[in-house]
Structure 1
């Protein structure tokens, strides 16, 4: 079976200027851009030595002292790649020239209020702005999307994300202390990915939880997205399953009236080392018993999915794509779902004791 899942690359050369030099740049952005053949023109970081180290490793010709210098010396058609923490977004976006293309690391701010500020600023400056929700472009997600769009599994009626792993939060020191850790910095990927298939839910029910022996703000969540009385869309995450690999799992599953697709996401197993992804599908046939088949896909979430977000931004900017899939105008809706999940978690469910009154 031929499945189209690799991203279409831009037709023009658009030099990239990276703002930030953290681990995600070394592990995902730069390897992805190298694989795609994108030109990285320059890099800037508050600690210049970190930028210089990456510049040497990836043959980046320019290391800047500041964002202002990077902007002043940027080629006319530069694309800016913000890989900094959300609290730095506004001050950095304000320094960019009006009308430029910019890819902003997720999440779109540390709160929904910040997300709205970022959206307004991007509108004011007429930025061609996208958020780097790259899970949408992971090979296994793109392959599933192709099969579903082709009608191969019929009408989609069930989507499930299940994550039962041991996450080493300590390797993300700036993130692990966040008061909204699990949904805002992890499950938000799944919320955005589900939206890319199903659109915007009517309501959200959620609970995000702490571990009794840890200081993290949250490490487990259940999020149920309401799409009516036939579509089941649920996210279950448990980052505390520290009992060996035997029962750990991480998968996305799509079920339809004519078949099903399951993608085992190897990246998050034994993170950051990971294991191979597994992509499999089952198409129903009245003449035979259901049979699952595997398809070998090239690449994984890291780094290949990062090609997709940048390629889409470049193609939209040059006019070869009509849709900027993770535009700030779209992702503000992902942030609204996330905010709704936190409100639901805080308010709690229906009290059972109320049903027993006057019984």
Structure 2
């Protein structure tokens, strides 16, 4: 079997096309850089219509709207929620500001895509999930890394049994991140796990499921600007000897960038790179290679990745939400599922504080 024949099925699995009958008109809350550079370009490329935007900085909202062809700039959240043309609300604000916006949007009966982390704490997340369930409103969370083509392709290969039974997964990232791009993060009491490794954790969950216990050590570089952890080493323990490891450092002063992932199984392995982190924020496509005794492959077989994490993967969570709204069921990153990612984050911070392994309680 040729490489092109092998990859045809994987390409179908990672396709992010939104069917015309699933599309709904979108209103965006927040006009920051991630909306400008990721959300809006991804939605435009997918043929999704953004009809309105609101931000506390009215001038910023007007500028973003003008450049992306958004017809309406709302001066208040209530005006956005009263707009009958807005069917789905995409919330892209900091975590502590999100719950009140979610409560108001649920009360207005509109479906939501929320930024990650979904809420600052697990209890609030549970409350919002129950509010939405009672109101018949769908909430999904913008955990878009699981839709990044490299990660999505790797998940497809695992699900097809091409590496046999998964035994281990790892992310190893050694980069220099200028956190001054996000001034509010410099003073945050939580940083690396809540705002970066949460992507890896959600991606691991999408492939291996939920771990039983975790351990995490977090550290800082002397003299660094951020208050919280910028270097973490985490271990996730699953039943039957399966495990996952994350080694993440944002304070690399040597310049030898590394951003890799690997999944091992009983009959093969998948390895790849996270292209975005080699040239952030522009990035490059991931690389993914498969070694399989099931197919079999002749050594390592490269998968032809063409898309990038930013902006391309950002259509994934919205596409999942729109499918759930149109057809029923749950989105892949539904808020109810994302509570498990939040619980994993909480367990890692508890381990960091106690220096002991923690059971994950969702």
Aligned residue for 1:94? Answer: 103
Offset at 1:258? 1.6
Aligned residue for 1:268? Answer: 277
Offset at 1:285? 7.5
Offset at 1:60? 0.7
Q: Deviations over 1:137-171 (max 9, x none)?
A: 11111111111111111111110011111111111
Aligned residue for 2:335? Answer: 328
Offset at 1:221? 0.6
Matched, 1:233 2:241: no
Matched, 1:299 2:310: no
1:59 to 66, 69, 82: 69
Aligned length: 345
Give the aligned CA root-mean-square deviation in angstroms. 2.0
SS in 2 for 1:147: helix
Q: Does the Cα contact within 8 Å between 2:17 and 2:46 map onto a contact in 1?
A: no
Q: Does the Cα contact within 8 Å between 2:285 and 2:309 map onto a contact in 1?
A: no
SS in 2 for 1:336: helix
Q: Does the Cα contact within 8 Å between 2:81 and 2:108 map onto a contact in 1?
A: no
SS in 1 for 2:239: coil
Superposition pairs for residues 301-316 of structure 1, below 5 Å?
Answer: 301-316=309-324
Provide TM-score, normalisation by structure 1.
0.91
Judged with a 3 Å threshold, the aligned counterparts in structure 2 of structure 1 residues 25 and 286 are, in CA distance, closer, same or farther, namely: closer
Extract structure 1 runs of 4+ deviating beyond 4 A: 285-288
Matched, 1:163 2:173: yes
Matched, 1:252 2:261: yes
Aligned residue for 2:144? Answer: 134
Provide TM-score, normalisation by structure 2.
0.90
In the alignment, structure 1 segments of 5+ residues that lack a partner are 351-359
Paired with 1:191 and 1:287, the residues of 2 have a C-alpha distance of 30
Q: Does the Cα contact within 8 Å between 1:44 and 1:65 map onto a contact in 2?
A: yes
Offset at 1:251? 1.4
Aligned residue for 1:193? Answer: 203
Aligned residue for 2:360? Answer: none
Paired with 1:181 and 1:31, the residues of 2 have a C-alpha distance of 27
Q: Does the Cα contact within 8 Å between 2:234 and 2:247 map onto a contact in 1?
A: yes
Judged with a 3 Å threshold, the aligned counterparts in structure 2 of structure 1 residues 327 and 12 are, in CA distance, closer, same or farther, namely: closer
Judged with a 3 Å threshold, the aligned counterparts in structure 2 of structure 1 residues 9 and 285 are, in CA distance, closer, same or farther, namely: closer
Bigger Rg, structure 1 or 2: 1
After the TM superposition, which of the residue ranges 148-157 and 16-25 deviates more from structure 2? Answer: 148-157
Aligned residue for 2:235? Answer: 224
Q: Deviations over 1:48-92 (max 9, x none)?
A: 1111111111111111111111111232x6110000111211221
In the alignment, structure 2 segments of 5+ residues that lack a partner are 1-5, 358-362
Aligned residue for 1:357? Answer: none
Offset at 1:349? 4.0
Offset at 1:233? 0.7
Superposition pairs for residues 1-80 of structure 1, below 5 Å?
Answer: 1=6, 2=8, 3-4=10-11, 5-10=14-19, 11-75=21-85, 78-80=87-89
